[in-house]
Amino acid sequence: MARLAGKIVLITGAASGIGRETALLFAANEAKVACVDLTEEANQATVDEINQSGGNAMALTADVSVAADMERIVSETVERFGALHVAFNNAGIMHSDDGDVVATEERIWDLTMNVNAKGVFLGCKYEIPAMLASGGGSIINTASFVAILGAAAPQIAYTASKGAVLALTRELAVIHARQNIRVNALCPGPLRTELLMSLLDTDEKKQRRLVHVPMGRFGEAAEMAQAALFLASDESSFVTGTDFMVDGGLTAAYVTPE
């Protein structure tokens, strides 16, 4: 059964990782998908794969930290597809120079907050009016397990930005609950994505992360897409304001078994 039949979806960060896998999965479930990214070629590749498989997708280029860009892509999505029912505010960065509070430069803090937190704020700012005009919908914001737990590997700007996403998500969920708009935060654990693997570039660094994960492995972007599909679909019709942890048991563990 197509779980998103008739739904119009906007996904940021669709060129790679979680965003790409989600775009492919949503399209396979008969959603019409607006794929948004700053990386045009890779984003177009996602769209081409969807359309060549019989789906219906369009590519939009935007910087999620720029208000005019976000207003434009929502407008173009509605103009092309006629409505907006689901938004996945997924675009984010994890900068290699993001460390502890003493070492991290102000420019790295500002860049990370602009993309990860302001980008979600701007997405919701323009998506919510479009959803209200469409009769309601579901917003999914990508946060992280580090918004719940302090990160042993310092990444102060990233951690703070994802905490902001959780707080923003909760308030939006409460404010818009009676307007038929649900807002949830997807909180992945450490994933085997190009972004994280480029930072964990030695076996020692990888094992330092995995020792805390009861399942003993990194998650996959495709597994996050399945979680996003649940939150986007009507199956989660009574779910709003949640921190949806998909982390291999990491946040449940005090110590992990040998």
Which candidate in 109, 158, 218, 244 is catalytic? Answer: 158
Paired tokens of 206: 């990888």
Instruction: Please state, in angstroms and rounded to a whole number, the distance separating the CA atoms of residues 82 and 76.
Output: 9
- Encoded amino acid at 75, one letter: S
Burial class (CB in 10 A: 0-12, 13-18, 19+), 201: exposed
158 given a catalytic annotation: yes
Q: Is 96 exposed, middle or buried (0-12, 13-18, 19+ CB in 10 A)?
A: exposed
- For residue 117, the 8-state DSSP code is I
In angstroms, rounded to a whole number, what is the distance separating the alpha carbons of residues 206 and 203? Answer: 5
Which pair of structure tokens corresponds to residue 181?
Answer: 């708009």
- Given CA atoms 198, 201, 206, 209 in this order, what sign does their dihedral have? negative
Active site residues: 158
